[in-house]
Amino acid sequence: MPQIPARSRGSLKVRAGKSYVVRELVLPVQAFIYTEGVSGIVLFAASLVALIWANSPWSDSYFQLWETYLSIDLGFIKISESLLHWINDALMVLFFFIVGLEVKRELLHGELNDRRRAMLPLMAGLGGMGVPALLFFVFNIGGAGEAGWGIPMATDIAFALGILTLLGKRVPLELRIFLLAFAIVDDIGAIIVIALFYTESISWTALGAAVGILGILFGMNRARIHKNGLYGLVGVLLWLAVFESGLHPTIAGVMLAMFIPSTSYFSRRTYIQSMEILLRQFREALDNQQENRQQAVLGRIEELSKDTESPLERLERVIHPWASYLVLPLFALANAGIVFTSDALTSAFASPITWGIMAGLLIGKPIGIVSFSWMAIQFKLASLPQGVRWGHIFGVGIIAGVGFTVSLFISGLSFTDDALVSQSKMGILIGSLIAGVLGCLTLLSMRKHQPSASD
């Protein structure tokens, strides 16, 4: 094996130390961004399949599939829903659970933890929600589509980060983190809107049961119970209670996430000290060819590693890929199928719902994000992230008009009439597509970003 010169070894140590610090601070965010970025590509593919299938000679099979009814009878409760509703009301709980975990992590340790750093994405998020909703309302005030004002408020994190991922080094990492932060603010707003404004009736008995279950979760959190399986079991009971209460059941995912412990049993320092002892024991067992003792020590190492990672980190790491690569594509496949007939297109483009959504996504989003960000900086509440210019903010403001997932979700809650749902979906798809293309072109027109050491 070739020898490494002493001077080079010292250089490698410095680089390794710097690399460790960068990984410790940046890689968790990069991993989230990467997963969401790739998920955006999968999401686009699923949406394309849905559109082709719904407009093919086999379109009847597409709509019949999602209307297939599945029932669960537990004796004390019976649920019978179509496959579409099982996806939207049950599977999407995983998506909102991940949103809740990410919100909690950002509030405790991320961009939203520091007041000054949080102000820019917070203001951008408020502008990105308020202005689109106002524009939609102007188009639909007093009309049949008035209830859909929440549709253009949301930004699809997966699609938006997918576009930035395709742009590669042309956009700074700080811009991706900014997009992630204000999209999370958007998600918080969407959750509040769904809970407060898209609930038709309340069963106070079921709601009381949900509150009682939240009390149990609070007690588990305070008692430092770290068994994810136990949280999962209580989470299922919470979902059933919220489902029966009249609130949208996906809210249960966010509620559950807020009580998942964010601290670990053992500190990182304790982990290192204990691991040194265990590794010494393992070497001794290996030298003495003690197979049973080797397995026992490996089991203790596994338990030590699990208890040094917080339940929040572990659940986000394990469930996030499932939500991104299975739940969201299934949601897109079930909800993005729109029949493009001449009558449907004529009806959509004559509808204030379609135009209101497109205006909200294409005009309201960039105006709201840029103007509120400008106010935050003018009033010295925040500053632009390093390497980010106003052209970047404008470009990412346009990309934020890709509303897709949560917009489709709120569309289904807003309207029961199939024609209105079709018109809203048309506005979401067309508006999101144009926003993605225009935002991409805007960022491509800027001078290529020179990567920093943290990239």
CB atoms within 10 A of CB 146: 16
Q: What is the pLDDT of residue 447?
A: 62
State how far the alpha carbon of 155 is from the alpha carbons of 87, 269, 360, 399, in Å: 20, 39, 11, 9
Is the predicted pLDDT of residue 370 greater than 90, yes or no?
yes
pLDDT digits (tens, 9 = 90+) for 12-60: 333 334 443 334 444 555 566 656 657 778 888 888 999 999 999 998 9
Q: What is the pLDDT of residue 234?
A: 94
Contacts of 418-423 with C-beta under 8 Å, sequence gap 24+, read 419/347, 420/144, 420/145, 420/148, 420/353, 422/338, 422/339, 422/344, 422/347, 422/348, 423/145, 423/347, 423/348, 423/351, 423/353, 423/354
Considering the chain, what percentage of its residues have pLDDT values greater than 70?
A: 89
Q: What is the pLDDT of residue 154?
A: 84
Q: What is the pLDDT of residue 19?
A: 41
Q: What is the pLDDT of residue 32?
A: 60
Query: Helix crossing, 404-414 with 157-167: angle to 10°?
Result: 160
pLDDT digits (tens, 9 = 90+) for 205-216: 988 999 999 999
Q: Report the range out of 124-133, 179-188, 376-385 with the highest average pLDDT.
A: 124-133
pLDDT digits (tens, 9 = 90+) for 247-272: 888 889 889 999 999 887 777 777 78
Please classify residue 79 by burial: count the beta carbons closer than 10 Å to its beta carbon, then call 0-12 exposed, 13-18 middle and 19+ buried.
Answer: middle
Q: What is the pLDDT of residue 3?
A: 39
Q: What is the pLDDT of residue 64?
A: 92
Dihedral (C-alpha) 293, 294, 300, 303: value to the nearest 10 degrees? Answer: -140
pLDDT digits (tens, 9 = 90+) for 106-145: 778 776 777 777 899 899 999 999 999 999 999 999 888 9
When pLDDT is averaged across residues 406-414 and rounded to a whole number, the result is 88
Q: What is the pLDDT of residue 10?
A: 41
Which of 326, 322, 398 is closest to 124 using CA atoms?
Answer: 398
pLDDT digits (tens, 9 = 90+) for 320-357: 888 888 888 898 898 888 888 888 888 889 999 999 99
Check residues 167 and 121 and name the one with the higher pLDDT: 121
Q: Report the range out of 86-90, 220-224, 294-298, 373-377 with the highest average pLDDT.
A: 373-377
Residue 81 backbone dihedrals phi, psi, to 5 degrees: -140, 160
DSSP state of 450: P
Q: What is the pLDDT of residue 22?
A: 39
Distance of CA 323 to the CA centre of its chain: 9
pTM equals 0.77
State how far the alpha carbon of 41 is from the alpha carbons of 213, 214, 328, 409, 438, in Å: 38, 36, 11, 19, 17
Is the predicted pLDDT of residue 181 greater than 90, yes or no?
no
State how far the alpha carbon of 43 is from the alpha carbons of 279, 295, 332, 381, in Å: 44, 42, 7, 36
d(CA 43, CA 32): 16
Contact between 319 and 94 (Cβ < 8 Å) = yes
pLDDT digits (tens, 9 = 90+) for 273-285: 887 888 888 888 8
d(CA 443, CA 114): 28
Contact between 257 and 101 (Cβ < 8 Å) = yes
Q: What is the pLDDT of residue 14?
A: 38
Q: What is the pLDDT of residue 455?
A: 44
Check residues 7 and 217 and name the one with the higher pLDDT: 217
Q: What is the pLDDT of residue 12?
A: 34
Which of 136, 135, 111, 134 is closest to 123 using CA atoms?
Answer: 111
Check residues 74 and 351 and name the one with the higher pLDDT: 351
Find the radius of gyration of the CA atoms of the chain: 24
